[in-house]
Amino acid sequence: MSKTLVYDTLTIPDPSFYDEQVKMFGFWYGMSNICVFPTKVSGTSAYQKSSGDAQTDHNILHLKHTTMLFDPKVRQLVNESSGVFQELQTNVEDPNKSTDALFYSRKYRAILSACILAIDQHNLDKSNETYNQYKLLLHNLELIWHLCEVLYLVTVPGDTILNNLLDWIKIHYEKAENQASMIIEDKTAYFTDEHVEEKFPFYWDAVFGLVLQGNTDMVRMLLCNHSQSDTESFVQAMKILKSMPTYSVYGGLPIAEYNSRFKGWQSSAKNKLDCGIFLSNSNLNDVMKIICGEPDSTDLIRKHCSTWFEFLVAQLIYTEPTIKKHNLSLNAHRSVAKYYDEPEYYHMDSLALDLFDGDLEAFVKKLKSYPDSGWSSTHLTNLLHLCDKIEPEFDMIDAVESTNPNEQYLLDYGTFLMSHHSLWQAGVTYLDHCSAIGKGYLSILLSKLEISSDLRISKILHYATARRLHNVVSSICKVKGMLSLQKSRIGEALCWAIRGQDSAFATYLGDMLLKEYSKGGQFICPDILDNLGSIVVTCDRFMFIGKYLQLIKLAKDEKLSEAASLYIEILRSNICPKYFRLRLLLDVLIFLNDNNECYFNTIDMSLITMRLDDAIMESNEDERFVDQFLLNQVSSIRKGIVKLVSSSLIK
């Protein structure tokens, strides 16, 4: 397998790093971020940091690598897989619905295939190296995901796994089959003297490739098209291929009987090989060596395999066709050792070996470091967790306390998606399924989202409200309210305060409204004040404003008796702010009329008089509550009170 280079070397253009005494320290955080900082160390101790001088005043650099998931052509992988993930979690939580892990695994793989196809269509000439790299990463990911599916999600009676491995190889290594189709579909050779093997230089490569995938039917079709197809060697080869026994778990043939038939067939073919029937064509002779399982065919098989995966399966076809799943580990390690000249284990090799070894815990840990920003580790670990293929908990490095690996990966991936301007909604889906800790993450991350448009604000508030994240709703509404207030849009700010149920901010706005009323004699934004909603329950200031507006309306409608009762209720409750008390007491004059009718009894008049004395005293003690205009009206208020008292006595 060729080595996949994922990241290029990055040079940090900071002069601090040019000093030989400066060492670079750093740490990863999140999915794709690294914090790097130069640190000057002394010669005596490599870890003794010098500090306090100008020479160590260096920058702290935050680096973030570009992930392929944020590329527009790959973004469908995130969006579509999010829907499958949500559907899977919903079905798991519903006892009336069955959860077929294999079905959802194939759904995820279908999304991967569609994404690879989209990249291919966008990069037809293969000139964009970035997209070529993305395609390779996704193809390798689909390959390893499919292997996991074959080994752990597909149920095979008797654990005879070779047929499933053959399907896996055929799907992901299609070169030989495509070449064979091109040769077979070409009919010009029938009308000319041109030989097929000469017209198509890759003729024998296609034959070998199909033989190593066990596709004997197509191999016979290719041999039929050869210019020497009527010779004895080719006729015998096609007969051998046609008579090759195939095993099926549903065929009703016991394994022991099949092995006996297979060995008999292979022994017959070997006798013909030893007799030199196929020596007339060296390529055909090599094909028959592979079929007969000759020990010296190993190098020949290796030559025609692009990866050790193919090499492993190709060897098993003609040496152990009924191999059991638990015997794959030894064969896999042997194949790796034979395939590579030097011990050079790459990431994909390590992942595949863990699967063949049956070590799913090691597999999911290593999958975490695959350069897809956690997409595969999140979804595949979740799938394996839900179908009980991995333990709920195993040792993890840097895991959040009280979380299992499934939740840890969901937290990391969801947090990563929340950093994107349009994929954050998909991130919410994953954090929703992380028990209580996910809600805490979601609360913080939603609050930090940029509120760039009204549409985004509506979406954030919708998600926060649906999840009862009242602190998020309050925080966002407070920010929007303050922005509106800066633009002198008090009514709009009040709407945000009401929506966020922010009592403190609402109190501040209520004070502004009351002070404006004291100056101008009327409230601004009356339509909003008429529909305050539940804010009157949570905010004392608006409870007062609500009752005061009701008082004004009753007085305007000349329902003075009801207005008087409400007026006394307001005075008794003592919810009127200090700066507005004189203005409230001035309203006692609305109850004076020519009919000398009194709406208050003696106790009520005593209360009004007491509140007036308190208001005057507070004004004298605290200049903040002094309104000269209202102080000048004290005498008028007292005269009004005297008239009301006299009217009550006459009555």
Whether 436 maps to a domain, the answer reads no
Domain final position from 65, 97, 121: 65
Length of the chain, please?
651
The tokens for 637 are 């208020």
At residue 526, does pLDDT exceed 80? no
**Predicted pLDDT of residue 46:** 39
Mean pLDDT along residues 105-131 = 91
Q: What's the pLDDT tens digit per position in 433-453?
A: 988 788 889 999 998 888 888
Mean pLDDT along residues 81-110 = 89
Check whether residue 376 and residue 302 sit in a common domain. no
Residue 24 lies in domain: 1-44+56-65
Check whether residue 294 and residue 229 sit in a common domain. yes
Check whether residue 233 and residue 190 sit in a common domain. yes
At residue 352, does pLDDT exceed 90? yes
At residue 249, does pLDDT exceed 80? no
CB 180 within 8 A of CB 221: yes
Return mean pLDDT, the chain.
83
**Predicted pLDDT of residue 44:** 43
Mean pLDDT along residues 30-48 = 59
Report percent pLDDT > 90 for the chain: 38
Check whether residue 120 and residue 178 sit in a common domain. no
At residue 648, does pLDDT exceed 80? no
Whether 409 maps to a domain, the answer reads no
Tell me which of 403 and 379 has the higher pLDDT.
379
- Give the distance from CA 331 to its chain's centroid: 37
194: DSSP letter: -
The tokens for 561 are 């008796």
CB 318 within 8 A of CB 292: yes
**Predicted pLDDT of residue 417:** 92
Domain final position from 361, 395, 429: 395
Selection from 466, 469, 430, 426 nearest residue 446 by Cα: 469
Write the secondary structure of 246-263 as one string of H (helix), E (strand) and C (coil).
CCCCCCCCCHHHHHHHHH
Whether 361 maps to a domain, the answer reads yes
Q: What's the pLDDT tens digit per position in 154-199?
A: 988 888 899 999 999 999 999 999 999 998 888 766 556 678 888 8
What are the φ/ψ torsions at residue 280 (nearest 5 degrees)? -65, -20
Check whether residue 80 and residue 129 sit in a common domain. yes
When divided into structural domains, the chain yields a total of: 4
At residue 3, does pLDDT exceed 60? no
CB 420 within 8 A of CB 123: no
Mean pLDDT along residues 241-248 = 89
Confidence of residue 52 (pLDDT cuts 50, 70, 90): very low
Check whether residue 170 and residue 304 sit in a common domain. yes
**Cα–Cα dist 500/250, whole Å:** 64
Check whether residue 182 and residue 283 sit in a common domain. yes
Check whether residue 307 and residue 179 sit in a common domain. yes
Check whether residue 202 and residue 307 sit in a common domain. yes
**Predicted pLDDT of residue 630:** 65
Confidence of residue 311 (pLDDT cuts 50, 70, 90): very high
Sheet-wide strand order for 33-40: 22-29, 33-40, 61-64
Selection from 345, 342, 344 nearest residue 353 by Cα: 345
Confidence of residue 373 (pLDDT cuts 50, 70, 90): confident
At residue 49, does pLDDT exceed 60? no
Mean pLDDT along residues 3-26 = 60
**Cα–Cα dist 427/460, whole Å:** 12
Mean pLDDT along residues 188-215 = 84
At residue 397, does pLDDT exceed 70? no
Whether 476 maps to a domain, the answer reads no
**Predicted pLDDT of residue 2:** 39
Check whether residue 211 and residue 299 sit in a common domain. yes
CB 346 within 8 A of CB 4: yes
Tell me which of 32 and 2 has the higher pLDDT.
32
Whether 80 maps to a domain, the answer reads yes
Whether 461 maps to a domain, the answer reads no
**Predicted pLDDT of residue 343:** 65
Whether 629 maps to a domain, the answer reads yes
Q: Which pTM value belongs to this model? A: 0.79
Mean pLDDT along residues 626-631 = 63
Selection from 363, 312, 335 nearest residue 173 by Cα: 312
Mean pLDDT along residues 317-324 = 92
Q: What's the pLDDT tens digit per position in 267-289?
A: 999 999 999 999 999 999 999 99
**Predicted pLDDT of residue 97:** 73
Whether 384 maps to a domain, the answer reads yes
**Predicted pLDDT of residue 286:** 94
**Predicted pLDDT of residue 499:** 87
**Predicted pLDDT of residue 62:** 72
Confidence of residue 149 (pLDDT cuts 50, 70, 90): very high
Mean pLDDT along residues 131-155 = 93
Confidence of residue 538 (pLDDT cuts 50, 70, 90): confident
- C-alpha dihedral (11, 16, 20, 23), degrees to nearest 10: -80
The tokens for 92 are 């798991």
Helix (H) or strand (E) holding 39: strand 33-40
Check whether residue 629 and residue 581 sit in a common domain. yes
Check whether residue 260 and residue 362 sit in a common domain. no
Mean pLDDT along residues 576-591 = 83
Mean pLDDT along residues 368-381 = 91
